Amino acid sequence: MSTQTCHTEKPTFSATAAPVGTAWYRALLLLVALAAIALPTDAPAQRVSLDKVIAIVDDDVILQSELETRVAELVAQARQANREIPPLDVIRNEMLERLVLESIQLQLAERASIRFDDNTLNRVMENLARQNNMTFDEYVNALQSAGVYRQTREQVRRELTLQELQRGMVNRRINITDQEIENFLNSEMGRTVMAADYLVDHILVAIGEGDPQRLVDAKLQYASELVAQIENGADFAQVRARAQQERRFAVSGTNFGWRRLEQIPSLFANVVPDMDIGDVTGPIRAGNGFHIIKLADIRGGTNRVVNQTHIRHIMISPNEIRTDEQARALVARLRERILAGEEFETLARQNSDDASSVVAGGDLDWVNEGGMPPQMEAVVNDLDVGELSEPFRTGSGWHIAEVMGRRERDLSNQYSRSQAENALRSRKFDLELQNWLIEIRESAFVEFKE
């Protein structure tokens, strides 16, 4: 038992830190909610009768009722999953140590001003509701009926806080060098991790061994007609289904599901990487017939060619002295002045409320597709180069925008290096997390009460 006082400077966090353990985190939140629902109804009575301090952790205390509630949750989870339940003294000892570590971390989070508002909690609980095939209101009502709504909400808040603290504190301890990135990208593991998954759909117009050439030619013509239907907008699966129902020729096929390139039949493996999403290729002649394939989707991989738009804008936001209508009117007047010959840059510097671009005369530089607010991107996408938009509204205020250029940019190298760094960081995270937890545990003052 340590008798030291923990002295920890206020941590800082990077907005670009890669999220770690997202799948685990979502599963944990779901488990928390389900466990809360499964709690025995006599838990509040236990909390009243067993409320006493069992441990002092720096500036916090752990109560007997907290420990017993957590033990009851764990036992309920084990029973739901039909798992063997360890002896209660073992569960209590492990849970008490877990509570100590949580207390230390929550105190660090408080010093770092890590907090989550009610809107964030509501969004997380909406996700939990969807995972349980319920609406948000149905989910809340279910928790309230079980008498665990407040408890579940606080558990969610606690898990969010712990994850944010761990991500910030541990990520800044992890250093990924350029050489590590290069080694990873050139390794077999790296190539496997970075490889793309392809979703391929398939139609086969079969050829029999004894088919005369006239019949083979007819089947080729039929396969070509199917391709033409798909290219004209018909749904791939529906075309396949109709062809099977017609029974004009033997037609089969299937959606291969998500596969790496090496898992795709060799007949298509050389074709698929050169296809774009939505492309249809065929008929491809093989010994068993004519094949038609469609690349339905791609995920992962490192090929990233993005559309970029060079734009500049002026934003006028409503405030205490300017109504929404006045903001719109001011933007409209500025637009007329620009069309009359005044300099866009000058008017932007004098009037725009966008602090990130006002010094540059409203210039947002090159923006990747998807990198603008949806309302703004919808307007910008319809503009020609050099065209000044009509006033439009986003959540930030009223805008006018001008497109100064469009281009495609290959960001594959930057993307692959970023993905490699994230993969390396994820591999190091769990070990570094355990090291950090040991350190903060050893540096904290912890006193257990009989």
Residue 335 lies in a domain: yes
Last residue of a domain, one of 235, 265, 300: 300
Residue 203's closest CA among 178, 240, 246, 152? 240
Within-domain flag for 160: yes
pLDDT per residue, tens digit, the chain (450 aa), is 443 433 333 333 333 333 334 443 444 444 444 444 444 444 444 444 448 999 999 999 999 999 998 899 889 888 988 888 889 889 999 999 999 999 999 999 999 989 888 888 888 999 999 988 899 999 999 999 988 899 899 989 999 999 999 999 999 999 999 999 999 888 888 877 777 889 999 999 999 888 999 999 999 999 999 999 999 999 999 999 999 998 899 999 888 888 888 888 888 888 888 888 899 998 999 989 999 999 998 887 777 778 999 999 999 999 989 999 999 999 999 999 999 999 999 999 999 999 989 999 999 999 988 888 889 999 999 999 999 999 999 988 999 999 999 998 877 788 888 888 988 999 999 999 999 999 999 999 999 987
438 and 404 within one domain:
no
SS3 75: helix
Yes or no: say if 161 and 109 are a contact pair by the CB < 8 Å rule.
yes
pLDDT at 384: 95
- Cβ atoms of 200 and 294 within 8 Å: the answer is yes
Give the pLDDT of residue 256: 85
Are residues 235 and 260 both part of a single domain? yes
Please give the structure tokens belonging to residue 347: 């008017």
Which domain does 378 fall in, by range? 305-409
Among 269, 300, 331, where does a domain finish?
A: 300
Domain tally, the chain: 3
* Straight-line distance from the first to the last Cα atom of the chain, in angstroms, rounded to the nearest whole number: 14
Residue that is last in its domain, among 272, 300, 328: 300
Let me know whether 385 and 441 are in one domain. no
Q: Which tokens sit at 355?
A: 């602090």
In the β-sheet with 392-394, what is the strand arrangement from edge to edge? 363-368, 305-316, 397-410, 392-394
Residues 171, 48 share a domain: yes
Phi and psi torsions of 165, nearest 5°: -65, -50
Same domain, 224 and 334: no
In a domain, 4, yes or no: no
- Write the CB contacts of 429 (distance below 8 Å, at least 6 apart in sequence): 20, 21, 170, 171, 174
Q: Rg of the chain's alpha carbons, rounded to an integer?
A: 30
How far from the centroid of its chain's Cα atoms is residue 284's Cα? 38
| Amino acid 6: pLDDT | 38
pLDDT reported for residue 96:
93
Rounded CA-CA distance 345/257 in Å is 51
Q: CA 353 to CA 334: how far, in whole Å?
A: 13
- Are residue 163 and residue 216 in the same domain, yes or no? no
Average model confidence (pLDDT) across the chain: 85
Pair 293, 316 in one domain: no
Q: For residue 423, tell me if it sits in a domain.
A: no
391, 442: one domain: no
User: Within this chain, do residues 250 and 149 fall inside the same structural domain, yes or no?
Assistant: no
**What's the pLDDT score for residue 117?**
84
Specify if 17 maps to a domain: no
Q: Is residue 52 part of a domain?
A: yes
Residue among 342, 357, 341 nearest 399 (CA): 357
DSSP 198: E
Q: Residue 13 gets which letter from DSSP?
A: -
Residue 8 lies in a domain: no
- With a threshold of 0.85, does the pTM exceed it? no
CA distances 160 to 25, 59, 125, 166, Å, are 9, 21, 12, 10
The Cα 68–Cα 448 span in angstroms is: 16
Contact (CB, 8 A) for 418 and 426: no
The pair of structure tokens assigned to 364 is 């947002």
Task: Report how far apart, in Å, the C-alpha atoms of 38 and of each of 53, 69, 260, 393 are.
Answer: 26, 12, 41, 47
Domain of residue 358, CATH code? 3.10.50.40
Domain membership flag for residue 219: yes
Q: What CATH number is given to the structural domain containing 134?
A: 1.10.4030.10
Residues 155 and 263 in one domain: no
Cβ–Cβ < 8 Å for 260, 197: yes
Q: How far apart are CA 171 and CA 439, in angstroms?
A: 15
Residues 234 and 316 in one domain: no
pLDDT of the residue at 47: 45
The whole-number pLDDT of residue 179 equals 94
| Contact criterion met (CB below 8 Å) for 316 and 378 | no
Taking residue 401's Cβ as centre, other Cβ atoms within 10 Å add up to 24
Q: Are residues 126 and 149 in the same domain?
A: yes
Coil vs helix vs strand at 28: helix
Taking each helix axis from N to C end, the angle separating 236-246 and 213-231, rounded to the nearest 10 degrees, works out to: 140
